[in-house]
């Protein structure tokens, strides 16, 4: 495609984009690269990729696990870690919650402060 800058990423909606950007910046150790009145983005170090957050009035968090007639997740983030239990504790300390439903013994489904599911898994 013509005119591409190389800057690309994924955008999550949230009731407070700046709060969610700070959460993921702390969780992943990635710097906040851009901020404006409507949102923020964190940069994946060494790349032109980012994870962006937009403030969305009327935001409705996804339901985990999915339920008929309720807002479903459209995507989730998978985060490889060296120690799942330690990563869970760190995420909890930053404001995440442990999802009630855990479909696999070796992966922990967490919910970020806006309710988006993300998975912590042992990256061997």
- The answer to whether the pTM exceeds 0.85 is yes
Domains of the chain: 6-59 (3.10.180.10), 71-124 (3.10.180.10)
CB 118, CB 73: distance < 8 Å: no
d(CA 115, CA 76): 11
CB 72, CB 117: distance < 8 Å: no
Mark 97-116 as b/e (b = at least 16 C-beta within 10 Å).
eebeeeeeeeebbbbbbbbb
| Residue partners of 58: CB distance under 8 A and separation at least 6 | none
Tell me, what DSSP letter sits at residue 37?
T
pLDDT, position 111 = 97
Per residue of the chain (124 residues), what is the pLDDT tens digit?
577 777 789 999 999 999 999 999 999 999 999 999 999 999 999 999 999 999 998 999 999 998 999 998 888 999 999 999 999 999 999 999 999 999 999 999 999 999 999 999 999 8
CB 20, CB 53: distance < 8 Å: yes
d(CA 31, CA 21): 9
pLDDT, position 1 = 53
């Amino acid at each position: 495609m013509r005119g591409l800058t190389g800057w690309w990423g994924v955008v999550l909606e949230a009731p407070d984009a700046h709060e969610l950007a700070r959460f993921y910046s702390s969780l992943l150790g990635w710097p906040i690269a851009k901020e404006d009145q409507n949102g923020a983005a964190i940069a994946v170090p060494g790349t032109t990729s980012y994870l962006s957050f937009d403030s969305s009035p009327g935001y409705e968090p996804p339901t985990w696990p999915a339920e008929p007639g309720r807002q479903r997740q459209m995507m989730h983030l998978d985060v490889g870690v060296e120690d799942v239990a330690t990563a869970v504790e760190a995420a909890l300390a930053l404001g995440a919650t442990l999802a009630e439903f855990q479909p696999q013994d070796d992966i922990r489904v967490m919910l970020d402060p806006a309710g988006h599911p993300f998975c912590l898994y042992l990256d061997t």
